[in-house]
């Protein structure tokens, strides 16, 4: 399948492309819908599970962030969207697996029953593998992007998800939390569970946008701080929000070592603020147009703050 | 990590490279061992699970086949090995998941306890994701291979594993077997469960070896027939062998629709023979040096025949 077809007329295409934050999010939503709309050769039950997991209510933070950092030319817009959708597929796959009975045993996600509750464990696991695999397929098939860039993007994604990235984070979260004793170790876990994919999304956007090394490094620092802040805010949300506010199971971290459980909500909030402030500085250094990204951060953390306070 | 470093001295390297079948298999084994030997940053439990699953006793059919079809030049040998190891990682990931309690609920695989029995379900699932993801990383990082070829290889692998490939096969196997009514539908399932990855391995070898389209098409046909024959022989093995002979749980297909259960062992054997004969014809058409591949087939099916008769 050609994902970046130059013949597509961006003015009349099904999805709207604008620079406004809400419009980017809407374009991501529509593109995700198209990418899993009709899947010939895919068993119906599996298709439904994929759609259920991927198309639930979500802020689409990672693909929107990737798009805003890429600052794509009109010709690159569809590629930036597709690359963001690939990251969202990986993120969704990780959520499906995290929610399994043998992991967090969660019932609600994205305001819906978790995928294994709705479709059974075997189909849920296969939907996750399908999404993860498709993500790499999308990267490989970004026809408008030069092959050396595609290869670099695929390596970035593999490193982020792999056994010293997201997978390591989940292993420690499920089987190694009791060994975490101090804030540094917990921040390292937050980094693995959330930061690596934030950084991968941001870095993939920067690579697509052709940023030179120094600016790329600033983008990485920005995303690392944002990711850790996001996970800390999530832990605060877990403690304070209701399931309907959070759109997923909450109060599940009670016996887990988090910054909140170890040092209290007040210190966790301070740490979160510090990371957000560092993120803003790094963003300024990166030279990426800051306004829509700052707006994204404001929206994200306003919701989280409202729920967490 | 540079996987195909031209500075490696192939004469003195840790792994032996020869054209002989056993030596290729031994080289695959050693390279797999190196690729998961030391994994800095990977939680210990996860490392052990990955090694347990990947390094169990196996014929390494897919990587050996890939290597033999690629007929690599001395400079390409390590790339051919690494690409084969990537396919073996994907295959191993699929075995870990197939064996889970919510799928086939198997106890023994590759002469060892299945990964979830030895390490728990959560670590087993994460080991599978780690292996699958690393496979795409390896393909992306084949530095000696031109980027357009790497991108093509990644797309091939994604298509083979994805929701209309291996993942679809497992979904039908676990949740859709009861709807299979005729030989064509069962052969289609055998194709998805085994054929697609055989074809991907063979095709990746052919692409690495630079085969032109007509020869590539013959390689695909060869591998398709071989894969279906292999799965049918596996069903015969399930019926007739003991667990120690097979190295995995057997007699688990009793209530599943297979060619053996629907039409009896005799017709399944005939079908298997027919596919093997078609595979040999296609191999001859492909122009790939046939001798070591025919020897591989002979060894594979001799074992299976001995167990199945």
What is the CB neighbour count within 10 angstroms for residue A45?
Answer: 18
* Percentage above 70 pLDDT, chain B: 87
Any domain includes A217: yes
Q: Is the pLDDT of residue A228 over 90?
A: no
Interface check B102 vs A, CB under 8 A = yes
Q: Which residue has the higher pLDDT, B228 or B93?
A: B93
* Average pLDDT estimate for A292-309: 74
Q: Could you give phi then psi for residue B105, rounded to 5 degrees?
A: 50, 55
The alpha carbon of residue A8 and the mean position of all alpha carbons in its chain are separated, in whole angstroms, by: 27
Interface check B4 vs A, CB under 8 A = no
Q: B109 has which bridge partners? A: B112
Query: Which chain B residue lies closest to A119 (C-alpha atoms)?
Result: B175
151-190 in chain B: CB under 8 A from chain A: 151-152, 154-155, 157-159, 161-164, 167-168, 170-172, 174-176
Task: Return the percent helix, strand and coil in chain A, to nearest 5.
Answer: 70, 0, 30
Which helix (H) or strand (E) segment holds residue B113: the answer is strand B112-113
- For B123, the token pair is 């670590």
- Nearest CB to A170; choose among B126, B168, B170: B126
Give the mean pLDDT of chain B.
87
Q: Is the pLDDT of residue A247 over 80?
A: no
Asked if B155's CB is within 8 angstroms of A150's CB, the reply is no
Q: How far apart are CA A98 and CA A272, in angstroms?
A: 23
CB B305 within 8 A of CB B236: no
Q: What is the DSSP letter of A75?
A: G
Asked if B162's CB is within 8 angstroms of A133's CB, the reply is yes
Chain B residues close to A175, C-beta within 8 Å = 43, 45, 120, 122-123
Q: How far apart are CA A147 and CA B146, in angstroms?
A: 9
Q: Is the pLDDT of residue A99 over 80?
A: yes
pLDDT tens sequence across A155-197? 999 999 999 999 999 999 999 888 888 888 888 888 898 889 9
CB B37 within 8 A of CB B79: no
Interface check B96 vs A, CB under 8 A = no
pLDDT tens sequence across B259-284? 787 788 888 899 899 999 999 999 99
Asked if A123's CB is within 8 angstroms of B171's CB, the reply is yes
Place of tokens 């937050």: A190
CB B140 within 8 A of CB A158: yes
- Which pLDDT score is estimated for A261? 79
Place of tokens 């390292």: A188
Indicate the SS3 state at residue B1: coil
The alpha carbon of residue A44 and the mean position of all alpha carbons in its chain are separated, in whole angstroms, by: 26
* Average pLDDT estimate for B131-139: 98
Asked if B158's CB is within 8 angstroms of A133's CB, the reply is yes
- Looking from the CA of B204 toward its CB, the CA atoms found within 13 Å total 36
Say what the alpha-carbon torsion angle A145, A147, A149, A155 is, to the nearest 10 degrees.
130
Q: How far is A256 from chain B (nearest CA, A)?
A: 17
Q: Is the pLDDT of residue B45 over 60?
A: yes
DSSP for B261-302 reads HHHHHHHHHHHHHHHHHHHHHHHHHHTS--HHHHHHHHHHHH
Place of tokens 């058409």: B285
Q: How far apart are CA A301 and CA A273, in angstroms?
A: 10
| Length of chain B as a residue count | 309
CB A227 within 8 A of CB A297: no
Indicate the SS3 state at residue A113: strand
Chain B residues close to A164, C-beta within 8 Å = 39-42
Asked if B158's CB is within 8 angstroms of A122's CB, the reply is no
Chain B residues close to A185, C-beta within 8 Å = none
Any domain includes A9: no
Q: A113 has which bridge partners? A: A108
Q: How far apart are CA B34 and CA A157, in angstroms?
A: 22
Any domain includes A2: no
Burial B130-164 (b: 16+ CB within 10 A, else e): bbbbbbbbbbbbbeebebebbbbbbbbbbbbbbbb
Classify residue A14 as exposed, middle or buried by CB count within 10 Å of its CB (0-12, 13-18, 19+): exposed
Chain B residues close to A102, C-beta within 8 Å = 120-122, 125
Helical packing angle, B121-140 and B147-161, nearest 10°: 150
| Length of chain A as a residue count | 309
Q: Is the pLDDT of residue B246 over 70?
A: no
- Which pLDDT score is estimated for B292? 93
CATH number of the structural domain spanning residue B42 = 1.10.600.10
Strand ranges inside A41-172, DSSP E: 108-109, 112-113
- Which pLDDT score is estimated for A260? 81
Query: Which chain B residue lies closest to A192 (C-alpha atoms)?
Result: B41
Enclosing domain of residue B111? 21-308
Chain B residues close to A134, C-beta within 8 Å = 158, 162-163
- Which pLDDT score is estimated for A170? 95
Q: How far apart are CA A96 and CA A47, in angstroms?
A: 14
Q: Which residue has the higher pLDDT, B20 or B89?
A: B89
Any domain includes A84: yes
Q: Is the pLDDT of residue A120 over 90?
A: yes
| Domain count within chain A | 1
Any domain includes B2: no
What is the CB neighbour count within 10 angstroms for residue B299?
Answer: 15
Which stretch of A138-152, A246-260, B200-214 has the lowest confidence by average pLDDT? A246-260
33-62 in chain B: CB under 8 A from chain A: 39-43, 45-47, 50
Query: Which chain A residue lies closest to B152 (C-alpha atoms)?
Result: A140
Indicate the SS3 state at residue A287: coil
Asked if A174's CB is within 8 angstroms of B154's CB, the reply is no
Asked if B43's CB is within 8 angstroms of A168's CB, the reply is yes
CA distances, A173 to each of A189, A214, A258, B35, B150 (Å): 7, 33, 10, 25, 34
Q: How far apart are CA A66 and CA B105, in angstroms?
A: 40
Any domain includes A5: no
Q: How far is B178 from chain A (nearest CA, A)?
A: 14
Q: A109 has which bridge partners? A: A112
Q: How far apart are CA B142 and CA B78, in angstroms?
A: 9
Q: How far apart are CA B166 and CA A126, in angstroms?
A: 10
Indicate the SS3 state at residue B109: strand
- For A305, the token pair is 């703050």
Any domain includes A218: yes
Q: Work out the pLDDT band at A19, boundaries 50, 70, 90.
A: low
Interface check B257 vs A, CB under 8 A = no
Any domain includes A265: yes
Mutation target vs B (from A158, A161, A207; most B CBs, 10 A cutoff): A158
Chain A residues close to B132, C-beta within 8 Å = 129, 132-133
Q: How far is B49 from chain A (nearest CA, A)?
A: 11
Residue closest to B132 by CA, chosen among A41, A150, A94, A105 = A94
- Which pLDDT score is estimated for A242? 62
* Average pLDDT estimate for B156-184: 91
Query: Which chain B residue lies closest to A50 (C-alpha atoms)?
Result: B163
Q: Which residue has the higher pLDDT, A57 or B157?
A: B157
Residue closest to A91 by CA, chosen among A48, A52, A135 = A135
How many Cβ pairs within 8 Å bridge chains A and B?
177
Q: How far is B52 from chain A (nearest CA, A)?
A: 15
- Nearest CB to A168; choose among B42, B148, B164: B42
Query: Which chain B residue lies closest to A103 (C-alpha atoms)?
Result: B122
């Amino acid at each position: 399948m050609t994902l970046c077809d130059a013949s597509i007329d961006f003015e009349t295409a099904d999805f709207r492309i604008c620079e406004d934050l809400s419009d980017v999010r809407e374009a991501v939503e529509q593109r995700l819908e198209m990418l899993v709309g009709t899947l010939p050769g895919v068993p119906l039950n599996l298709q439904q599970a994929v759609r259920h997991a991927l198309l639930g209510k979500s802020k689409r933070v990672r693909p929107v962030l990737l798009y805003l950092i890429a600052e794509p030319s009109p010709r690159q817009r569809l590629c930036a969207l597709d690359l963001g959708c690939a990251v969202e597929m990986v993120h969704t796959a990780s959520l499906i697996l995290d929610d399994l009975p043998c992991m967090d045993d969660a019932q609600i996600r994205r305001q819906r029953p978790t995928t294994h509750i709705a479709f059974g464990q075997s189909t849920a696991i296969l939907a996750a593998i399908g999404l993860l695999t498709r993500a790499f397929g999308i990267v490989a098939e970004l026809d408008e992007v030069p092959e050396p860039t595609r290869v670099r993007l695929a390596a970035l994604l593999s490193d982020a998800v792999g056994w010293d990235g997201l997978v390591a984070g989940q292993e420690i979260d499920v089987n190694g939390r009791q060994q975490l004793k101090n804030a540094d170790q917990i921040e390292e876990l937050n980094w693995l569970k959330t930061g690596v994919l934030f950084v991968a999304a941001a870095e993939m956007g920067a690579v697509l946008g052709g940023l030179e090394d120094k600016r790329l490094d600033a983008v990485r620092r920005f995303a690392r701080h944002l990711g850790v802040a996001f996970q800390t805010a999530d832990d605060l949300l877990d403690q304070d929000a209701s399931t309907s506010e959070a759109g997923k199971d909450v109060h599940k971290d009670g016996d887990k070592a988090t910054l909140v459980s170890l040092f209290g909500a007040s210190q966790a909030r301070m740490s979160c603020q510090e990371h957000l402030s560092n993120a803003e500085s790094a963003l300024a250094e990166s030279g990426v147009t800051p306004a829509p990204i700052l707006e994204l951060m404001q929206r994200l953390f306003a919701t989280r703050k409202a729920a967490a306070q």
